[in-house]
Amino acid sequence: MNDFSRTLQSWRRARRFSQLSLAVEADVSTRHISFLETGRARPSVDMIKRLGDALQLPLAARNQMLTFAGFAIQHQARSWSAEEMAPVRAAVDYTLNQHAPYPALAIDRLWSIVQMNGPAQGLFGPLKLDQGDSLLELMLSDILPPLIENWPQVAHHAAQRLRTESTAQGGVALFDKAAEKLAEVPMSAPHSSGPVVPTIFRAGSIRLSLFTTIAQFGTPEDLTLDDLKIELYFPADHETEKALRVMAA
């Protein structure tokens, strides 16, 4: 067994595929999957692409498999400021700015802030959070829990999200440790029975109840874009919507 074989087997198991189900999904024989996993067969570039599509691998993992098989990587990691990224930056700018007066930000795979709009700066600025800083570090700090009215529920859902993202990326030790710590927060009775669990910020007389949606680029061929997520915050009640509009004004 070689590095490619071990990596393929690891991803197949992480995705809960049998050799048969992966063979069906990638449109190859079960025998060929077995030979690839034991090192008796060498994959082609096309085969690695088919396996990557079948297993829904992140681009970084596809590059790794190509390297292990002796091929050149196919996906680059362009600088966010590169000229080729101008249309993407424009799309992110448009999305974040159009979302005002509601907060919105773009984060990378490790939850570091790449960009945020004015309302997000107003929300996170008092927490000393700016571009380049980590949302994950804030989640694990002692700063946030006293400011979130329903911290046990928020911590529980954050732990679930971290586990899901760790699995999707093939295992991220930082996420696994963070999820374990957040899961230790004692659960209390549900704060509400609404359709989503909002994050309820409270500081003095200010109370903001927000929920988020997450957007990603649909056809990334670049590692930077494959990792990028846009988080859009929405008011969960009329009072929050009114407060956000007053803050923006």
Q: Tell me, what DSSP letter sits at residue 212?
A: E
Q: pLDDT (tens digit, 9 = 90+) per residue, 2-57?
A: 899 999 999 999 999 999 999 999 999 999 999 999 999 999 999 999 999 999 99
CB 88 within 8 A of CB 81: no
Q: pLDDT (tens digit, 9 = 90+) per residue, 67-83?
A: 999 999 999 999 999 99
Q: pLDDT (tens digit, 9 = 90+) per residue, 100-142?
A: 999 999 999 999 999 999 999 999 988 889 999 999 999 999 9
- Residue spans in the chain of domains classed CATH 1.10.260.40: 3-68
Q: Per CATH, the architecture of 3-68 is what?
A: Orthogonal Bundle (1.10)
**Backbone φ and ψ of 199, nearest 5°:** -100, 120
pLDDT above 70 covers what percent of the chain?
Answer: 98
Q: Tell me, what DSSP letter sits at residue 177?
A: H
Q: Per CATH, the architecture of 83-248 is what?
A: 2-Layer Sandwich (3.30)
- Residue spans in the chain of domains classed CATH 3.30.450.20: 83-248
The candidate with the shortest Cα–Cα distance to 141, out of 150, 131, 149, 151, is 151
Cα separation of 249 and 244, whole Å?
9
